[in-house]
């Protein structure tokens, strides 16, 4: 397979990404076109002006606006395709990618069409770039636990019918404030029973401590934690999670820019958590909404923590340990990274 060969040495480092929302990767020019096509004019002339926020919840209101421009199977195909083609230029080789369809389902879209569209786009991008991608269906917590359970059951039905083979996991995202994560236990129990892998955003928002991480692990049975940075406040939980081998999918720049949890990247606990024995991966979360990309994430980390190209390469390679690939797929991905 021929990957694009990026000019920049940090972009050339092969990477996996386990925490990236497809709706947060839509090119601004595509948002404008889709909004026009959907008859939902944007409140600004320049899409770059859309992305102004100062907290997770104010960010989410913009994320939802972008989601509302996605109407047809072709829209979903287009954003998945563009997302992977764009990331392949920054070294992406394998991604487990979120989509969060609650808003669309509430508006009457068919889940089968959404999954089929994403699959079309992924297959086209895979054929063109060699990047591989699987999907994680995220529960939008703002829609409540009953909608979450329905989503899981519906995805389960599609998979039984052979129409959702790309969807390997279930997650939960969106707002963290004022949400009782325990209420999502039936949805996560169903996900487990149906054979899906399970992950959960927890310990991201300002004002949230490590409690949600504990609930995600012990009540929801999450096998990975998305963000999870609040764990740094609880050394006993750090030791326990390290011993259990549960990875954190960390999005350092997002925690500065979107959640506003750290003033600057050098305040981020990513490396301290890794030094404490946790499995951590580096991810972009919603790159297009921060004028960001996966190569830049590594570059900024390198600058903030004085990591050279080799150290960044090791960090990227460690990400393979946290994927939901099977052992032989992991081995071949490691070999591919080593060759590069």
Taking the C-alpha atoms of residue 207 and residue 183, their distance in angstroms, rounded to an integer, is: 20
The contact pattern for ligand ADE, residues 201-240, with x = CB under 6 A and - = no contact, is x--x------------------------------------
**Binds 102: which of Zn ion, ligand ADE, none (CB < 5-8 Å by kind):** none
Q: Is residue 148 a contact partner of residue 114, using CB atoms and an 8 Å limit?
A: no
Taking the C-alpha atoms of residue 171 and residue 248, their distance in angstroms, rounded to an integer, is: 13
Tell me how crowded residue 25 is: count the other CB atoms within 10 A of its CB: 25
Both tokens of 329, joined, read 């797929």
Based on the residue annotation, tell me whether 310 is a catalytic residue of this protein: no
**Which runs of E-coded beta strand occur in 143-192?**
167-173
Instruction: Collect all residues with Cβ–Cβ distance below 8 Å to 160 and sequence separation of at least 6.
Output: none
Q: Does 140 bind Zn ion (CB under 5 A)?
A: no
Both tokens of 255, joined, read 């925690």
Q: Which of 285, 289, 297, 312 binds Zn ion (CB under 5 A)?
A: 285
Least distance in Å: CB of 252 to Zn ion? 12
Q: Residue 184 has what DSSP assignment?
A: G
Both tokens of 140, joined, read 């939008």
Of the listed pieces 110-118, 241-249, 274-282, 283-291, which binds Zn ion according to CB under 5 A?
283-291
Taking the C-alpha atoms of residue 233 and residue 211, their distance in angstroms, rounded to an integer, is: 10
Least distance in Å: CB of 258 to Zn ion? 9
**Binds 24: which of Zn ion, ligand ADE, none (CB < 5-8 Å by kind):** ligand ADE
Task: Pick the closest to residue 163 from 203, 115, 211, 201 (CA basis).
Answer: 115
Q: Which of residues 178-197 bind ligand ADE (CB under 6 A)?
A: none
Q: Does 119 bind ligand ADE (CB under 6 A)?
A: no
CB nearer ligand ADE, residue 282 or residue 325: 282
**Ramachandran bin of 53, using left for φ above 0, alpha for ψ from -120 to 50, beta for the remaining angles:** beta
Least distance in Å: CB of 172 to Zn ion? 10
Catalytic residue chosen out of the listed positions 204, 233, 303, 336: 204
Q: Does 173 bind ligand ADE (CB under 6 A)?
A: yes
Q: Does 63 bind ligand ADE (CB under 6 A)?
A: yes
Q: Which of 223, 285, 293, 297 binds ligand ADE (CB under 6 A)?
A: 285
- Residues of the shown chain interacting with ligand ADE in the complex, contacts defined by CB under 6 A: 21, 24, 56, 63, 173-174, 201, 204, 254, 258, 285-286
């Amino acid at each position: 397979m021929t990957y694009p060969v990026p000019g920049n040495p940090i972009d050339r480092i092969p990477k996996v990404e386990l925490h990236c929302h497809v709706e947060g990767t839509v090119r601004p020019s595509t948002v404008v076109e889709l909004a026009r096509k959907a008859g939902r004019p944007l409140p600004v002339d320049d899409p770059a002006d859309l992305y102004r926020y100062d907290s997770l919840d104010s960010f989410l209101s913009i994320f939802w606006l972008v989601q509302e421009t996605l109407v047809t199977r072709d829209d979903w195909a287009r954003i998945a395709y563009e997302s992977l083609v764009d990331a392949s230029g920054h070294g992406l080789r394998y991604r487990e990618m979120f989509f969060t369809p609650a808003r669309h389902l509430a508006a009457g879209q068919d889940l089968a069409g959404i999954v089929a569209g994403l699959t079309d786009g992924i297959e086209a991008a895979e054929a063109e770039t060699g990047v591989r991608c699987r999907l994680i269906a995220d529960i939008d917590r703002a829609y409540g636990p009953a909608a979450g359970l329905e989503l899981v059951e519906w995805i389960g039905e599609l998979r039984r019918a052979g129409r959702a083979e790309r969807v390997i996991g279930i997650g939960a995202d969106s707002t963290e404030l004022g949400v009782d994560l325990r209420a999502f236990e039936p949805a996560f129990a169903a996900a487990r029973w149906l054979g899906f892998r399970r992950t959960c955003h927890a310990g991201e928002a300002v004002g949230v401590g490590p409690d949600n991480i504990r609930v995600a692990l012990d009540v929801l049975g999450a096998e990975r934690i998305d963000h999870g940075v609040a764990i740094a406040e609880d050394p006993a939980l750090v030791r326990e999670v390290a011993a259990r081998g549960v990875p954190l999918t960390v999005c350092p720049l997002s925690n500065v820019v979107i959640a506003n949890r750290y003033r600057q990247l050098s305040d981020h606990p990513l490396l301290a958590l890794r030094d404490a024995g946790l499995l951590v991966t580096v991810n972009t979360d919603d790159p297009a909404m921060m004028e960001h990309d996966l190569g830049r994430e590594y570059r900024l980390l390198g600058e903030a923590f004085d990591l050279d190209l080799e150290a960044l390469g090791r960090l990227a390679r460690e990400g393979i340990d946290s994927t939901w690939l099977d052992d032989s797929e992991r081995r071949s991905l490691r070999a591919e990274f080593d060759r590069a």
